[in-house]
């Protein structure tokens, strides 16, 4: 299950941006992947905003005996050539050899989402 209530407006902006650059299908495919990850009846993926434009962090929780527990954290990051980004956009902080054009899912070993929620 994908929980987007904390990022509704930001997700709408990302979808509109994806429409403008012709990558809406790719974004929706990544969101659907997170929604269906593992067993959707036993997992919940919650999106959180990040300081990076058009990007999100997420927490994947899995069902345990007494409810849900954090399984792992990650990022749904937008990568692009700089001419696609909005003017004045924050720089990309990810280091990749061949950056993809569009959204990519990756683990977040620093637990960025947990820190923002005050659970660090």
Q: Which domain holds residue 95?
A: 2-116
CB of 56 closer than 8 Å to CB of 75? yes
d(C-alpha 91, C-alpha 65), whole Å = 42
Question: How many independent structural domains does the chain possess?
Answer: 1
Our measurement of the distance from residue 64's CA atom to the centroid of its chain's CA atoms, rounded to an integer in Å, reads: 24
Q: Could you tell me the CA-to-CA distances from 75 to 42, 65, 85, 87 in Å, in that order? A: 20, 27, 18, 23
What kind and span of H or E run contains 88?
A: none
* 10-55 residue pLDDT tens: 999 999 999 999 999 999 999 999 999 877 778 999 999 988 889 9
d(C-alpha 104, C-alpha 97), whole Å = 14
Instruction: Classify the C-alpha dihedral 19-25-26-32 as positive or negative.
Output: positive
* 68-110 residue pLDDT tens: 888 899 999 998 765 444 444 555 555 555 666 899 998 887 6
Helix axis angle for 24-36 and 8-21, nearest 10°, is 140
């Amino acid at each position: 299950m994908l929980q987007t209530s904390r990022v509704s407006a930001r997700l709408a902006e990302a979808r509109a941006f994806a429409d403008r650059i012709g990558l809406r299908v790719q974004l929706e495919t990544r969101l659907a992947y997170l929604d269906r990850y593992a067993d959707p009846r036993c997992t919940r993926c919650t999106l959180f905003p990040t300081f990076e434009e058009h990007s999100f962090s997420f927490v994947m929780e899995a069902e345990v005996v007494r409810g849900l527990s954090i399984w792992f954290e990650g990022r749904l990051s937008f990568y692009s050539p700089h001419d696609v980004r909005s003017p004045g956009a924050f720089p990309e902080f990810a280091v990749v050899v061949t950056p993809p054009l569009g959204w990519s899912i990756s683990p977040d070993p620093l637990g960025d989402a947990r820190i923002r929620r005050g659970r660090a």
